Amino acid sequence: MIASANFTTSPSIEPADDSIPVLRGTVFPHPRGGLRIRVWCPNCSTHHTHGWDAEDAKAGKSHRTPHCERNRYTGGYYVAESEVVE
């Protein structure tokens, strides 16, 4: 459940092989079904939540378009799990 998840507010960023950043986040079940991943965005200092599925988990990371109004990540970013909350 989202309320019990301990989401980090410190960015966890690492460069990907192609220089697109990787934001690590917490995977959690969404109340309406499926999984989501929540990452801290150092660009706008807030959390972004994206869909997450078995294919994303298998690949280890998945490319996303930022939800920021002022986007400095023009090539997007990757999201990857650092923790799974059940």
Could you tell me the pLDDT band of residue 14, with boundaries at 50, 70 and 90? low
pLDDT by residue (tens digit) across 19-76? Answer: 788 999 999 999 999 999 999 988 888 899 999 998 998 898 999 988 777 767 778 8
81 pairs with which residues across the strands? Answer: 25
How far are the Cα atoms of 1, 17, 48, 54 from residue 36, in angstroms, in the given order? Answer: 11, 24, 10, 11
